[in-house]
């Protein structure tokens, strides 16, 4: 057999194994589920990431909204606005295992890296509530501006950033002293946060400002405001709320609410590179580990848009519960 024929035979023998390995890697990336909270159904809808199909629902407390996987990686925490509680769902059994007291009208929460303390915004009381995870009890509160919503802990766990929708401020809270140390003016009705991976920039969505405020976390000053426009949409209908960033910090994804689009934003230039049409009132969103697929919940069309990041196009729409609020991926 000539050398050329030997190489061809070897390639033919290896090709099926190579294809199998690549297929296995692709399937590994697709494995897992999305949890979508439904405010009206008091339940979580579970969507299989591989097939894109709804597989089951999980009953939870009244009006579930924000969700986050606990630091132990074994539980899902669900804030229930009308119950004043967080429901702790065991991810293995998909059953509720305990409840934590969050106080009145809990909005968004964040948990310290050691899993010991949960901080939650309580809208009606204008407070940042402090919850001991071991006991499940609320142990204190820090006064902030009216109608607080977003809460984000700094990477070192020493600082909490809190939005006040009424005051259009970002409060910088020193957690050791329990005091607001600085107020930073954001856009109108600031809602949610994303930190760049290095912690140097804090991005804040402004629902009634059609914008994102970019804050230098070291100087604690605003360094830029990113304005959004959507062809055919009025400025009043461009209502940014949800935001997430890629692991490398090069791109941010912002849901534009009533404009029914998601904006892809280049972090370095702070320019919108793509606008993706999704469902009605795009709200919460999540990016998969491979950063190939973006999942967007649409609160007024009661569905989940599955967006291919590479092509910047929605490839599938999945009906989920009534008034979906947030989506969390468990892969």
| Domain spans in the chain, listed from the N-terminal domain onward | 102-185
Beta-carbon-side half-sphere exposure of residue 58 (alpha carbons within 13 Å): 25
| CATH architecture of residue range(s) 102-185 | Beta Barrel (2.40)
Q: CB-based burial of residue 112 (10 Å sphere; 0-12 exposed, 13-18 middle, 19+ buried)?
A: middle
DSSP letter at 158 equals S
Specify the pLDDT at position 31.
85
Specify the pLDDT at position 19.
36
User: Which of these, 47, 77, 48, lies nearest to 64 by C-alpha position?
Assistant: 77
pLDDT at residue 268 above 80? yes
Q: Which residues, at least 6 apart from 173, have a Cβ–Cβ distance to it below 8 Å?
A: 128, 142, 144, 159, 160, 161, 162, 179, 180, 181
65-107 pLDDT, tens digit per residue, is 999 999 999 999 999 999 999 999 999 999 999 999 999 999 9
**For 193-214, what is the mean pLDDT?**
97
Tell me which residue has tokens 């929605």: 314
pLDDT at residue 21 above 90? no
CA–CA distance, 46 with 55 (Å, rounded to integer):
6
Please give the structure tokens belonging to residue 251: 């791109």
Residue 317 φ then ψ, to 5°: -125, 130
104-150 pLDDT, tens digit per residue, is 999 999 999 999 999 999 999 999 999 999 999 999 999 999 999 99
pLDDT at residue 181 above 70? yes
Pairing of strands 179-185, 211-216: unpaired
CA–CA distance, 298 with 39 (Å, rounded to integer):
12
3-state secondary structure of 170: strand
């Amino acid at each position: 057999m000539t050398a050329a024929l030997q190489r061809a035979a070897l390639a033919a023998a290896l090709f099926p194994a190579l294809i199998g390995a690549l297929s296995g890697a692709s399937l590994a990336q697709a494995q897992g589920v999305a949890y979508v909270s439904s405010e009206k159904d008091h339940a979580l809808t579970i969507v299989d990431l591989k097939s894109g199909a709804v597989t089951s629902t999980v009953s939870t407390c009244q009006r579930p909204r924000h969700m986050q996987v606990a630091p132990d990686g074994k539980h899902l925490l669900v804030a229930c606005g009308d119950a004043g509680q967080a429901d702790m769902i065991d991810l293995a059994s998909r059953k509720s295992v305990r409840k934590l007291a969050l106080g009145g009208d809990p909005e968004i929460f964040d948990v310290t890296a050691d899993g010991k303390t949960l901080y939650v915004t309580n809208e009606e009381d204008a407070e940042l509530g402090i919850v001991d995870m071991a006991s499940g009890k609320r142990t204190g509160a820090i006064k902030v501006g009216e109608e607080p919503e977003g809460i984000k802990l700094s990477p070192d766990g020493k600082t909490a950033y809190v939005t006040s929708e009424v005051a259009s401020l970002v409060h910088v809270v020193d957690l050791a002293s329990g005091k607001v140390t600085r107020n930073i003016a954001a856009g109108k009705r600031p809602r949610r946060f994303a930190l760049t991976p290095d912690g140097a920039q804090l991005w804040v969505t402004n629902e009634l400002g059609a914008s994102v405020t970019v804050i230098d976390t070291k100087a604690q000053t605003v360094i830029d405001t990113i304005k959004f426009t959507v062809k055919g949409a009025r400025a009043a209908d461009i209502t940014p709320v949800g935001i997430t960033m890629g692991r490398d910090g090069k791109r941010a994804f912002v849901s534009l609410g009533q404009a029914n689009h998601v904006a892809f934003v280049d972090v370095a230039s702070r320019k919108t590179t793509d606008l993706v049409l999704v469902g009605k009132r795009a709200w919460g969103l999540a990016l998969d580990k491979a950063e190939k697929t973006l999942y967007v919940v649409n609160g007024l069309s009661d569905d989940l848009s599955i967006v291919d990041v590479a092509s910047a196009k929605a490839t599938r729409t999945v009906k989920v519960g009534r008034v979906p609020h947030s989506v969390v991926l468990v892969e």
